[in-house]
């Protein structure tokens, strides 16, 4: 189950983790088991073609969150984390002090 939107603001990696913890504390949508998605889970949202919303994600999702953090860590450098850029339809690693959105997910 995906969060339809995501964070309203861009966050660094640590803030993104805190954002998801906040969702759980507030039991958003009645649930307290939200988490940051893995990079593979985020990549599963990438569409083959650019959508009418201007990015490579299904229009049922908010297009504001064009680049999102994942929970996946960079294997060689703890200063980097993986994310997905829906504007380009690809994944990449980002410096953890960089600011990107987060879209939470939960297991159903």
Per-residue pLDDT of the chain (108 residues; tens, 9 = 90+): 999 999 999 999 999 999 999 999 999 999 999 999 999 999 999 999 999 999 999 999 999 999 999 999 888 899 999 999 999 999 999 999 999 999 999 998
Cα–Cα distance measured from residue 12 to residue 28, given in angstroms and rounded to the nearest whole number? 21
Domain extent, residue 75, equals 13-95
Residue 54 lies in a domain: yes
Which is it for the CA torsion 49, 54, 55, 57, positive or negative? negative
Residue 76 lies in a domain: yes
Residue 91 lies in a domain: yes
State the pLDDT at residue 74: 87
Residue 49 lies in a domain: yes
Residue 100 lies in a domain: no
Residue 86 lies in a domain: yes
Number of domains in the chain: 1
Residue 23 lies in a domain: yes
State the pLDDT at residue 34: 98
Residue 101 lies in a domain: no
State the pLDDT at residue 40: 97
Specify the pTM: 0.93
Token output for 62? 């908010």
């Amino acid at each position: 189950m995906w969060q339809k939107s995501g964070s309203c603001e861009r966050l660094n990696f640590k803030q993104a983790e805190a954002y998801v913890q906040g969702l759980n504390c507030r039991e958003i949508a009645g649930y307290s088991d939200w988490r940051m998605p893995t990079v593979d889970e985020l990549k599963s949202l990438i569409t083959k073609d650019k959508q009418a919303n201007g990015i490579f994600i299904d229009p049922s999702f908010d297009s504001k969150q064009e680049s999102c953090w994942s929970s996946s860590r960079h294997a060689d450098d703890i200063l980097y984390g993986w994310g997905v850029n829906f504007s380009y339809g690809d994944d990449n690693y980002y410096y953890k002090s960089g600011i990107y959105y987060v879209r939470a997910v939960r297991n159903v």
